[in-house]
């Protein structure tokens, strides 16, 4: 088959992991794609670029990838082939084996830089390499996750940073000074750290003491209400607008008892 290419659609992807910048990521990926196909007479006439989508998300659930798959069925589309800037950005695990037959069914060629040319489904080496790329993509994602979580662990343990979201009852978020990252500090970002809300912290201690004495969730909640102690949504209504400030409930007490933060553990990504 003639290896020259003509009109192509570009597909790329950028997640929000590892502080990726979508504009920069798009730039180098489409730049790679152009350098790959333009010497062969190819021209990118349409692009599809997913932002904020993990590579583990199937193509049908990515907005731009899904739009590209839908465009395959359009007989009036302006392109007859697809090019990617980097294969590991686009496919994860066995995704390629599920997507490639759809390209072939509509007579659309696929150009992958790691292959050095057009993907040939009859070439066993191509199939093996695309399978390897899927495995590499999966491994890379796991490494990124491990690095991010290790960094977050270090920031919490060594620097006392607050990693976002609502502070647990008994804590409050306070200003911790200029951000330690010079670039972010220059942009006005401030470090956010957790501090004890002494009154609420004593209520948390009371809940755990009563629970250890054998009191149930409802009995503890009843005692707090009888003593006129404000429930979390009433004490901090600004961060609990989604809740009714209608007093302590057994479920509220249970949530505090089951929250690992009160035992010294931080959980991310739940």
Residue range 51-109, pLDDT digits in tens? 988 888 899 999 999 999 999 999 999 999 999 998 888 888 788 888 889 999 999 99
Which range marks the domain in which residue 202 is found? 171-263
What secondary structure letter does DSSP report for 62? S
Count of the separate structural domains present in the chain? 2
Distance CA 251, CA 100 (A): 49
Residue of 114, 104, 111, 106 whose CA lies nearest to 8 = 111
The answer to whether position 156 is within a domain reads no
- Is residue 23 domain-shared with residue 132, that is, in the same domain? yes
Q: Are residues 244 and 178 in the same domain?
A: yes
CB 101 within 8 A of CB 127: no
Q: Where are the alpha helices (DSSP H) in 160-236?
A: 182-186, 198-212, 217-226, 232-235
133 & 196 share domain: no
Residue predicted with more confidence, 238 or 64: 64
Q: Are residues 240 and 122 in the same domain?
A: no
Q: How far is CA 75 from the centre of its chain?
A: 35
pLDDT at 153 over 50: yes
223 within a domain of the structure (yes/no):
yes
Reference 95, options 61, 71, 122; nearest CA is 61
Beta bridge partners of 82: 9, 110
Give the pLDDT score at 34: 95
- Give the span between the Cα atoms of 232 and 167, in whole angstroms: 11
* Rounded-to-integer distance, Cα 35 and Cα 144, Å: 28
**Looking at the domain assignment, is residue 216 inside a domain?**
yes
The tens digit of pLDDT for each residue in 101-150 reads 999 999 999 999 888 889 998 888 888 787 777 555 555 655 555 555 65
**130 and 32 within one domain:** yes
Can you point out the beta strands (E) in the chain? 7-14, 43-51, 81-84, 109-112, 117-118, 171-178, 190-196
Give the model's pLDDT for residue 185.
Answer: 72
Residues 130 and 223 in one domain: no
The reply to whether 90 falls in a domain is yes
Look over the chain and give the mean of its residue pLDDT values, rounded to a whole number: 82
The candidate with the shortest Cα–Cα distance to 111, out of 26, 6, 22, is 6
């Amino acid at each position: 088959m003639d290896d020259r290419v003509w009109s192509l659609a570009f597909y790329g992807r950028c997640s929000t992991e590892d502080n990726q910048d979508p504009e920069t990521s798009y730039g180098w990926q489409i730049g790679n794609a152009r350098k790959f196909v333009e010497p062969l007479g190819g021209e990118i006439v349409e692009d599809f670029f997913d932002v904020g989508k993990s590579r583990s998300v199937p193509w049908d659930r990515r907005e731009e990838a899904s739009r590209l798959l839908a465009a395959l069925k359009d007989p009036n589309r302006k392109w007859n082939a697809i090019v990617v800037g980097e294969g590991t950005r686009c496919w994860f695990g066995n995704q390629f084996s599920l997507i490639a037959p759809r390209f072939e069914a509509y007579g659309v060629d696929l150009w992958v830089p790691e292959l050095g040319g057009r993907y040939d489904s009859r070439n066993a080496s191509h199939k093996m390499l695309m399978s390897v790329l899927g495995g590499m993509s999966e491994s890379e994602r796991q490494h990124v996750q491990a690095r991010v979580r290790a960094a977050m662990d270090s920031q919490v343990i060594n620097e006392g940073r607050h990693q976002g979201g609502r502070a647990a009852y008994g804590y409050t978020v306070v200003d911790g000074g200029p951000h330690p990252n010079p670039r972010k500090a220059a942009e006005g970002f401030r470090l956010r750290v957790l501090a004890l809300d002494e009154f609420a912290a004593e209520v948390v201690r009371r809940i755990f003491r009563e629970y250890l004495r054998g009191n149930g969730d409802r009995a503890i909640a009843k005692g707090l209400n009888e003593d006129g102690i404000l429930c979390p949504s009433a004490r901090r209504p600004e961060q609990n607008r989604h809740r009714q400030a209608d007093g302590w409930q057994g479920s509220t007490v249970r949530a505090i008892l089951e929250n690992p933060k009160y035992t010294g553990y931080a959980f991310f990504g739940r």
